Amino acid sequence: MRKILFSLFFFAPAALAQEFDLSRMPKDYSFVSIEEEGRLALVFVRRDGAEYVFEQTLTYFDGRIDRAVIRVNNASQTTFVAFGDEKSTFTPHDCAPSIGTCYYVWNDIDGAMNIKTETRLVGDIRIKDEYSRDGEDWLFWNRECTIFDEYGFWIDYVRTYWNGETEAGYRERSTPDRISELWRICDPAAAVS
């Protein structure tokens, strides 16, 4: 379940201050991304206090449709996702698109999972290694290389999980995607070795 939710969105105390500020985001902000499973549309719905609410629709290539409601803070960090009947909270928020080391707790139907991210910037690409807590150890969970827009939402990304599975996605647009470049820079084989 966590992998399914994780693949649908991208959005700490130890992390460096971010340049993203959703207060400048246009009221009609939206985009479409091509994911491995289908076509994903993200639409800004409204501001709710200090958070921003988005609706996400994933139309699978076989015709099925999944919808999610996502809440993010002003720095484009996710605090809540409702995916069908499944709900996840992120305390205090997830770490994307933070730079540096960041910690959060992911709570969902499977329980609580402590997460640590270490993210560095290489040009305009954020390379993030994510770890889950197992007792005293931090176990590698995934590596993600992402290009974000000015509001902290993905344009192109690639991801490799601890078990070698991979994912990629890119925005529907007239300019070419940069997936091949991301795979070269991200080095997924090194992430799982």
The answer to whether the bond into 97 is cis (omega within 30° of 0) is yes
Span of 14-28, 41-55, 145-159 with lowest mean pLDDT: 14-28
Q: Is 63 left (phi over 0), alpha (psi -120 to 50) or beta?
A: left
| Single-letter amino acid code for the residue at 6 | F
pLDDT given at position 89 = 95
Average pLDDT, the chain: 87
Q: Which residues pair with 31 in a beta bridge?
A: 42
User: Of 62, 75, 71, 65, nearest to 90 (Cα)?
Assistant: 71
Count Cβ atoms within 10 A of the Cβ of residue 59 and give its class: 0-12 exposed, 13-18 middle, 19 or more buried: middle
pLDDT given at position 174 = 86
Query: pLDDT band at residue 6, thresholds of 50, 70 and 90?
Result: very low
Q: Identify the residue whose tokens are 């730079």.
A: 99
* Percent of the chain with pLDDT strictly greater than 70: 88
Residue 79 has pLDDT above 50, yes or no: yes
How large is the average pLDDT for residues 171-190?
A: 84
pLDDT given at position 13 = 35
Q: Tokens representing 191?
A: 């992430």
Per-residue pLDDT of 91-106, as tens digits, reads 999 998 889 999 999 9
